[in-house]
Structure 1
C-alpha cells in the first residue's frame, strides 16, 4: 500500500501547470494532497492537468490570477477557503525570466520580473500564513534561482528577485517558527527540457554529474520539504543543480 502522508492536505502551486510546477503538483498528488493549480492565463493546460490529478484520486481546482495584484490574490485565497476550507502547503513557483543588457533594461521590465517573482511570493505567502499560523501547521517552499548565486549577464532583474526570495524565506522561517509552519527555498539549476521563449539562454556550462536536470529532480526535494515529517527543516536554501553551483 502506497503511503500518503499528505492525505487531507491542500496544496497551492503557483505557476503550477508546466515544467517544475507541474512536476510538483503531481508529486504532491502522489503524497495524497488535493491540489490548487494556479496559472496566469493557461486555463486549458491547467484543466487538463486537473483532470490528470483527479484521475489519480485527488481533488483539483484551477484558479487564474495575476499574483502581483493584491485584490486578485486575496480573491484566489477566498476561493480556496470556499472550495477546500483549508490550505496546508504553498509552493511559490510562478516566475518570469528574460535577458536584457542592464543599461537597456526598462524600469517597467524590471518591475514586471521582480513583481511576479518577489511581490507574488510576498502576497501569496502573507495570505497563506494568515491561515496556516492560526491552525498551527503549514509548509511553504519558494523557488530560488541559480543565477542569483553564480551571477549571469543580462539577468539582473531575475537574479535580484530570486536573491530576495532567500531573504524572505529566512525572515518568515524565523518569524513563524513557533507556529508549526516551515519555510524553505529550493534553488533549481540547469533544468533541461522545453523552456518558455522568454526564459532566455540560461546558465552556461554542464553540472558535474554530466547531465541536465529534469523537473522531477526538483519536485522530489519539494515533496520532502512538504511532508509532515519534515518539521525540523526550516529557513534553508537547498540547491538542486547537479553540482553546477557548490555553496
Structure 2
C-alpha cells in the first residue's frame, strides 16, 4: 500500500485529498464527519484507510471546502453534495481501475450521503447518522433515559441519595418527563435523510454503535426494524475500542467484497 497526497477542484476551489492505493476494482470513498480533517479524530480515518487498503481496496479521503487543506467556505454537511461528488470524480480519475465505489461516513458524514442520495456512489456504509437539528439539545432519547433510571433503581446507593435529599428533584422531574415519552420527536433532517436514501438504488447498510447517543436518537427517529441496520454492542461513537474497530472494519470489508446481484 502506498499513500499519495493530492488535490482536486470543487467549484473553483482547491481541495486536499489522500489516496491509499491498492489494486482492487472496488474502492472506498471515506468522508469525515463534523468539521474533522480527513485524517479523522486521533488519526482514526487515516488508520482505517490504511487497513482497508491493506486488504486490497483503494481508499480516497478528502477535506471538504473550508476544512483542513481545502480552500473555500465551510458550508456544513447539509451542503456538501458537490464536495462529495467532486471527490468521487477525482477518485475515479486517480484510480482508473476502480469500477465500483462504496461511500462511508460516520455521524453527519453519513447524513450528508443520505441527503445527497449517495452523491454518485454505488453502495453506502452509513454509521451513526446524525438526525439532531441545530436548535435541539443532544439529551439522551427516552429509551436511554428509562434504561439509566432502571439501573439507578437497582443501586442501593442511588436510593439512599434520593431519600436523603441529595438528588436535584427539578432535574429528576425533567428526566422523568423525557423518559415518559414514547419516542424522540422526529426532525426535518431525519425526514430529508429518509427521502434521500429512498432515491438511492444501490446497496446500503446502517451501522449503529449501541453506546452512542447519536445512534440512540437516530433509531428512535427511524424504522427500528429496518433490515439494513446492524448494531455493535457497547461501542461508542468513534468505535474506539479494539473490538469495535475490528467490527467496523469487518462490516466495511463485507460490503466492499460483495458483488451486487443484477
| TM-score of the alignment, normalized to the shorter chain, above 0.5 | no
TMscore range, shorter length: 0.3 to 0.5
Q: Which structure has greater helix proportion? A: 1
Greater Rg by CA? 2
TM-score relative to the length of structure 1: 0.44
TM-score relative to the length of structure 2: 0.42
